[in-house]
Structure 1
Amino acid sequence: MTKIAHRLLIATAGVFGAAGVAGAAYAAHGTANSMLAATAAGMLLVHAPALLALAILVRQDWRAVGFAGLGLGLGTALFSGDLFARILFGDRLFANAAPIGGTVMIAGWLIVALGALLPPKGR
């Protein structure tokens, strides 16, 4: 599980980083949707390195990394995905996708905080 979680976190971080740069480039061209694109790109670019940091913690058997990674990854995908769907398709992913994604991201960050307070596995 650790090896799979490690690779999955790194792969997700890479996709988020690439999508964030592409979204920032789109926003820089001053289109009608540049504010949405900039917001989505910012979320992706902030959470990509966070997922890389969690990948390091997976290797150290940090207890909460799986839940934190799931929350940050899924939440960011929903939030940014909803904003990009509005730009690309003129409609949202589904009702309340962005607020649900934001709530899941907040929960992911709270799990990071909680995980820092828990003893390491096996101790």
Structure 2
Amino acid sequence: MSTDEHAAGGRILVLAGGLCGATGVALSAAAAHLGGAFVGTAASFLLLHAPVFLTVGLLGGNSILRTGSLILLVGLLLLWGDLLARDFLGSRLFPMSAPIGGTLLIGGWLMMAASALVRPRRH
């Protein structure tokens, strides 16, 4: 991966971290004032993952760690979107969106754990 591609991937993850944090706080307030069981759960997931995206985006890491982070992001978007659709639209985002999102979250975390088993390249 070129330096420019690595920097772009880092910026995407930092952007995702900031947006997840801000949206998580806003949804926490919405859950407190408007109710909605799924809104509070979505807020918790966003706030939990925001620091992960910021850290990987700022500090980098090997390609397995970065890929795991992007898988986390896709899974989070699917799960978060489904939870919000249930409360605000009264229906699912699409069939199996929450289970797919949850499975991607698990896979992303496992991939991030596996990144620790890769030895860094020596220059």
Tell whether the structures are fold-level matches, with TM greater than 0.5: yes
Query: Which of 4, 9, 17 pairs up with 2:8?
Result: 4
Residue type at the aligned position of 1:47: H
Distance change >3 Å, CA 122–CA 74, structure 1 → 2: farther
Q: Could you tell me how far 1:84 is from its partner in structure 2?
A: 0.7
Q: Could you tell me how far 1:56 is from its partner in structure 2?
A: 3.1
2:14 and 2:58 in contact (8 A); partners too:
no
2:68 and 2:111 in contact (8 A); partners too:
yes
Separation of aligned partners in 1, 2:85 and 2:121: 40
> TM-score scaled to structure 1, two decimals?
0.89
Separation of aligned partners in 1, 2:78 and 2:122: 34
Separation of aligned partners in 1, 2:122 and 2:90: 50
Separation of aligned partners in 1, 2:73 and 2:26: 18
Aligned residues: 119
Aligned to 2:51: 49
Separation of aligned partners in 2, 1:95 and 1:57: 36
What 5-or-longer segments of structure 2 have no aligned partner? none
**Identical-pair percentage:** 41
Separation of aligned partners in 1, 2:119 and 2:59: 13
What 5-or-longer segments of structure 1 have no aligned partner? none
> TM-score scaled to structure 2, two decimals?
0.89
Deviating above 4 A after TM superposition, structure 1's stretches of 4 or more consecutive aligned residues are: none
Aligned to 1:22: 26
Separation of aligned partners in 2, 1:103 and 1:54: 21
